[in-house]
Amino acid sequence: MTTCSAPGKVYLFGEHAVVYGEPAVPCAIERRARVTAEPREDGRVRVEAADLSLDGFTVTWGDGTDDHPDIDAPTPLVEAGMGYVNEAVEQARDAADAPEVGFDVTVESDIPLGAGLGSSAAVVAAGIDAGTRSLGVELPPEEIADRAYRAEYEVQDGQASRADTFCSTMGGAVRVEGADCRTIDAPELPLVVGYDGGAGDTGKLVAGVRALRDEYEFAADTVAAIGDVVREGTEVLREADPDGEADPDLLAELGRLMNFDHGLLSALGVSSRSLDAMVWAARDADAHGAKLTGAGGGGCIVALDETGGTETALDYTPGCERSFRAELATEGVRVEEP
């Protein structure tokens, strides 16, 4: 039996545009998904996911490599969650050259499913690492990230980027542009997350942006403009002291760029009333900047604020279920005590 965990993430800049080869800068945060894997000889896979949905569920499937779970679950979101677990199992089998092995899998997560905090990437990365280690195979982080990306690519019908899975695997702040993935230095950022209790449909939101981009040249220009914001933001981060806290001038510039990014994402139709309400509450509380994080449509926003003003404002914002301060997770996927 092996337990591994991987962190969630927030995007400083770049979601959606990263799908089209533009750069993105996500940051890992100390909210983790933990996956425990124990091999079994009958080829079947049993998954207990106590925290992957509000009510939790247990699913068992398969006695061969071509089987997929028959999920009796109330929402497409949970079905997608099981798809990620299934693909993580397939990647672990392939990496360990054990196509017929089964697993008992337990998933526990501090990351709301579908809320824009990278729950699927964390589950996949931790699942691949736990599955392969339980079979006596230790993969380098770069291979875990690549295999986790392939798993998300399958579930998301070819519309995934490498950003979430690379960030969750490596930890810290990363920059992703197409297949070019690298860690970058970043100071301690005063990240505050607001959560509306809901979730967006990632596949539908990504497809909606694709349709706009294909139909309107100005929508394609909007996607490219998000890439320009990311490039500017990367240059700002390069000026920071990676071993200390960000100074107010740097935070102010990062915040302005986050505000630009949110406006561009809103123009692409991926924000929502609750997300906009939380963004404006943060800005009215004098946050340096605020934007949605992840696919949008509901879920989370991220703000920069070293004071307690944004958290207080979000706590009184209709539609905000909870807020919390998020620390940068310097460690990516790792082995945990079961």
Rounded to whole angstroms, the Cα distance separating 134 from 38 reads: 6
Distances (CA, A) of 34 to 52, 185, 291: 11, 26, 27
Rounded to whole angstroms, the Cα distance separating 333 from 331 reads: 7
Closest CA to 4 of 148, 162, 173: 148
Closest CA to 124 of 296, 333, 326, 338: 333
> Which residues are designated catalytic?
164
Q: What angle do CA 148, 120, 88 make, to 5 degrees?
A: 40
Rounded to whole angstroms, the Cα distance separating 150 from 160 reads: 9
